[in-house]
Amino acid sequence: MAGNVELLNAVLAQARTENRAALVGYLPAGFPTVDGGVRAMTEMLDGGCDIVEVGLPHSDPVLDGPVIQTADDIALRGGVKIVDVIRTVREVHAATGAPVLCMTYWNPVDRYGVERFAADLAEAGGAGCILPDLPVEESEVWRKAAEQHGLATVFVVAPSSRDERLAKITAAGSGFVYAASLMGVTGTRESVGREAQELVARTRATTDLPVCVGLGVSNPEQAAEVAQFADGVIVGSAFVKRLLAADGDLDAGLAGVRTLAGELAEGVRKRS
């Protein structure tokens, strides 16, 4: 079975025809539980997200700040495995018909088996993989497997990336480019900043792929700000915070996640 890269492309293209940015939500699989995570991601999509990223929890998530690290730790202590991540992708896509990507560090994929991981992700209806720590120079084996199975390969670019480097990364990627809005780790911030806008402009000069901005977006105002210049707005820590704030009350957490998705969806539609 082929993956859903074409569905991802179509959803991003549809947002562009509506003159708005796409809203991309993120949660780690297994948080607060595997079933609870599936329900939360479904609520995110039903509430207004266009795309969801399913995180593969990692014991040393170098790109992630303390909020997502906390969620990863809860998932890992709950015994989450790669099979649960794949199941999460399958059930969220089946429930919503939306594009679902996996965001993972490279080591778990390498240990699981590159071909096996691509095949299983595609069979589950996955649309692709975001690989924040895989150097483009070492990505050929993955990219071949992903292409064979109909999966996007999304690379991360940062404000520190030189133009020459940006061109190399975007030439190898597919689906969209993940633009880290600032140097540092994921988390909510007071301001997204000018660096993100400059990075998007420099990235767009190298590729026709959509450019989606993540790291630091947490409220409708910030989503609206980023939507002025990006093709997509990625939000993760703010969703995790809603579930953590519910303090074990899953229904309250789900309601919070859905409400936030709706508010952010309004934000990404506020283009001047």
Q: Kindly name the residue from 18, 35, 43, 53 that is annotated as catalytic.
A: 53
User: Among candidates 176, 184, 183, 173, which has minimal Cα distance to 136?
Assistant: 173
| Angle between helix 237-245 and helix 250-268 axes, rounded to 10 deg | 150
Q: Which of 50, 64, 84, 225 is catalytic?
A: 64
Tokens 């700000």 belong to residue: 225
Distance between CA atoms of residues 137 and 14, nearest Å = 32
* Residue linked to tokens 């899953």: 250
Distance CA 139, CA 110 (A): 11
Token duo for residue 137: 């120079």
Instruction: Based on the residue annotation, tell me whether 53 is a catalytic residue of this protein.
Output: yes
Residue 247 is among the residues annotated as catalytic for this protein: no
Integer Cα distance of 263 and 49 in angstroms: 10
| Residues marked as catalytic | 53, 64
